[in-house]
């Protein structure tokens, strides 16, 4: 892969530039290690704001940050745009689409992928939202559907085009539903005066008995109330069994006709080939209290893909544990703690969680108190702004939010690359 070897420096290869991989790469001492970061994109994606890209509130470029820009002028650091095919822990080697590379230490930070729970139909016909191109596909599709709804004389077809089903009532599903409901309220009636926007339906389907499973009951109830007020149809205890591109099949013979199903029902670890079955737990890589894999002395895993044995059900697959794990691991490496006995185990510190439902509406659970409404919304914005990478992205995102707040608009409703449905649906 054309990376010079330095005899005096051990090489650490990090796979994945999400929250975890980026953090450990930033914090590792480059006077002690040669750091190679590999990702299939040349940018880091700020996933918590993907839903705003999908609903035309933010341009994609404001939640993406060039990895080379983050690490410019950084010594002993190498970025490679590559897709890792598999790893060989015996040979200490990774194999990618642009060549092979040896490592002294490997840090797997591959994150997670959308989990369809094995249903191929749902995988084919629904839209995931884990990456910027996927969020842009949703943006294009929403807008294309309304253009199509204007033209069709088939009432059934029009209803299907104007019905949006979001599966999964976690933060992603809740925030997306809220944002879509605001489009319905403030924007679409002006954009499509010929359409009866009231007949647009937004469903939020959740498999368990409450929204926001990871948050407090109080916040979940507040989110439920806010979404109801915005006109979102929320079905709890509702399992999606199948989807054929036109009809969502639920339990008890219930059905929803919709051309637009957004799948936010779950994620699973993005495992690389080369790990054995016993290395894994619930589709994530088993790690000990020091984030080291169980069997391989020089292989570590952090972020969504890591499953710490001692923590019940593993850490939440969110940004916070990922960043904390990245920090912790870098510190251990920098202090050479991996070779010492007095190393302290990783302890996840839950700083709280939050979700926004719409204009002036959010819920925050902090360790000692809970917040809702306007103040929660302001805190939500502040936390997300300072978490964005780079001054430019912060300024651009803030500018967008201020303008949106003032004029009730989401300006970037552009179909820059149209999204085409699977073939046999195009005919319908």
CA 285 – CA 305 distance, rounded (Å): 6
- Shortest reach from residue 132's CB to its own copies, in Å: 6
Does 281 participate in binding its own copies (rule CB under 8 A)? no
Return the DSSP state at 412.
-
Beta strand 33-39 with 10-15 is parallel
Does 192 participate in binding its own copies (rule CB under 8 A)? yes
The candidate with the shortest Cα–Cα distance to 299, out of 98, 28, 40, 91, is 91
Does 236 participate in binding its own copies (rule CB under 8 A)? no
CA 260 – CA 117 distance, rounded (Å): 19
Please name the residue that has the structure tokens 């949106």: 404
Instruction: Tell me the window of 71-79, 111-119, 332-340, 354-362 that interacts with its own copies (CB under 8 A).
Output: 71-79
148/320 with CB nearer its own copies? 148
- Shortest reach from residue 19's CB to its own copies, in Å: 18
Does 415 participate in binding its own copies (rule CB under 8 A)? yes
Handedness of CA 227, 228, 231, 234 (dihedral sign): positive
Does an H or E element contain 357, and which? Answer: strand 353-358
Does 259 participate in binding its own copies (rule CB under 8 A)? no
36/270 with CB nearer its own copies? 36
Q: Helices in 86-154 by DSSP H: which ranges?
A: 120-125, 132-151
Handedness of CA 99, 134, 283, 269 (dihedral sign): positive
- Shortest reach from residue 381's CB to its own copies, in Å: 17
- Shortest reach from residue 93's CB to its own copies, in Å: 17
Does 393 participate in binding its own copies (rule CB under 8 A)? yes
Does 136 participate in binding its own copies (rule CB under 8 A)? yes
Does 424 participate in binding its own copies (rule CB under 8 A)? no
- Residue 193: how many CB atoms within 10 A of its CB? 8
CA 243 – CA 203 distance, rounded (Å): 14
- Shortest reach from residue 92's CB to its own copies, in Å: 21
Alpha carbon 34 to its chain centroid, in Å, reads 29
CA 165 – CA 381 distance, rounded (Å): 26
Does 133 participate in binding its own copies (rule CB under 8 A)? yes
Does 399 participate in binding its own copies (rule CB under 8 A)? yes
The candidate with the shortest Cα–Cα distance to 78, out of 25, 35, 22, 31, is 35
Among 59, 134, 175, 325, the one annotated catalytic: 175
Instruction: Tell me the window of 214-222, 234-242, 327-335, 403-411 that interacts with its own copies (CB under 8 A).
Output: 403-411
CA 291 – CA 302 distance, rounded (Å): 7
Q: Among residues 33, 46, 78, 243, which is the contact residue for its own copies, using CB under 8 A? A: 78
The candidate with the shortest Cα–Cα distance to 244, out of 307, 301, 165, is 165
194/278 with CB nearer its own copies? 194
Inter-CA distances, 160 with 149, 195, 203, 248, 258, Å: 9, 14, 12, 11, 4
- Shortest reach from residue 419's CB to its own copies, in Å: 12
Instruction: Tell me the window of 110-118, 139-147, 284-292, 366-374 that interacts with its own copies (CB under 8 A).
Output: 139-147
Instruction: Tell me the window of 72-80, 302-310, 327-335, 362-370 that interacts with its own copies (CB under 8 A).
Output: 72-80
The candidate with the shortest Cα–Cα distance to 58, out of 398, 417, 423, 408, is 398
Distant-in-sequence, close-in-space partners of 399: CB < 8 Å, separation ≥ 6 = none
- Shortest reach from residue 72's CB to its own copies, in Å: 4
By CB under 8 A, the residues from 22 to 61 that bind its own copies are 41-43, 59-61
- Shortest reach from residue 303's CB to its own copies, in Å: 21
Instruction: Tell me the window of 146-154, 234-242, 248-256, 364-372 that interacts with its own copies (CB under 8 A).
Output: 146-154
Instruction: Tell me the window of 245-253, 359-367, 378-386, 402-410 that interacts with its own copies (CB under 8 A).
Output: 402-410
CA 160 – CA 149 distance, rounded (Å): 9
- The answer to whether 175 is a known catalytic residue is yes
Residues in the site for its own copies, rule: CB under 8 A?
1-2, 41-43, 59-62, 64-66, 68-69, 72-73, 78, 80-81, 98-99, 132-133, 136, 143-144, 147, 150-151, 153, 190-192, 194, 390-393, 395-396, 399-400, 403, 407, 409, 411-417
Catalytic residues: 175
């Amino acid at each position: 892969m054309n990376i010079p070897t330095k005899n005096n420096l051990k090489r650490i290869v990090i796979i994945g530039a999400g929250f975890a991989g980026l953090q450990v790469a930033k914090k590792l001492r480059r006077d002690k290690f040669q750091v190679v970061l590999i990702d299939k994109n040349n940018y880091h994606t700020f996933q918590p704001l993907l839903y705003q890209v999908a609903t035309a509130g933010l341009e994609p470029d404001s939640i993406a940050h060039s990895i080379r820009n983050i690490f410019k002028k950084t010594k002993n650091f190498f970025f490679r745009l590559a897709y890792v095919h598999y790893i060989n822990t015996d040979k200490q080697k990774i194999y990618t689409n642009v060549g092979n590379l040896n490592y002294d230490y490997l840090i797997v930070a591959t994150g997670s992928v959308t989990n369809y729970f094995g249903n191929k139909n749902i995988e084919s016909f629904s839209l995931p939202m884990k990456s910027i191109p996927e969020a842009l596909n949703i943006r294009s599709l929403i807008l294309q559907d309304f253009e199509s709804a204007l033209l069709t004389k088939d009432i059934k077809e029009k209803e299907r085009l104007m019905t949006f089903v979001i599966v999964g009532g976690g933060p992603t599903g809740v925030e997306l539903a809220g944002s879509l409901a605001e489009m319905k309220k403030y924007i679409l009636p002006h954009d499509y005066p010929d359409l009866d926007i009231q007949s647009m339906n937004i469903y939020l389907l959740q498999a368990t008995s409450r929204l926001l499973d990871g948050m407090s009951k109080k916040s979940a109830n507040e989110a439920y109330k806010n979404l109801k007020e915005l006109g979102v149809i929320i079905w709890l205890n509702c399992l999606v069994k199948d989807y054929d591109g036109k009809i969502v099949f639920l339990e008890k013979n219930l059905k929803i006709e919709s051309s637009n199903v957004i799948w936010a029902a779950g994620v699973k670890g993005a495992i690389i080939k080369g790990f054995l079955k016993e290395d894994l737990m619930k589709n994530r890589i088993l790690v000990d209290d020091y984030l080291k894999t169980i069997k391989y002395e020089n292989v570590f895993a952090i972020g969504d893909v890591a499953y710490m044995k001692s923590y019940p059900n593993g850490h939440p697959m969110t940004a916070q544990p990922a960043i904390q794990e990245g920090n912790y691991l870098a510190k251990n490496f920098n202090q050479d703690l991996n070779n010492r006995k007095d190393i302290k185990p990783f302890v996840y510190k839950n700083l709280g969680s939050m979700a926004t439902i719409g204009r002036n509406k959010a819920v925050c659970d902090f360790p000692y108190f809970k917040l809702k409404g306007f103040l929660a919304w302001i805190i939500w914005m502040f936390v997300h702004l300072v978490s964005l990478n780079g001054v430019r992205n912060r300024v651009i995102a803030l500018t967008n939010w201020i303008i949106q707040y003032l004029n009730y608009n989401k300006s970037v409703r552009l179909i820059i690359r149209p999204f085409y449905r699977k073939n046999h649906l195009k005919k319908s």
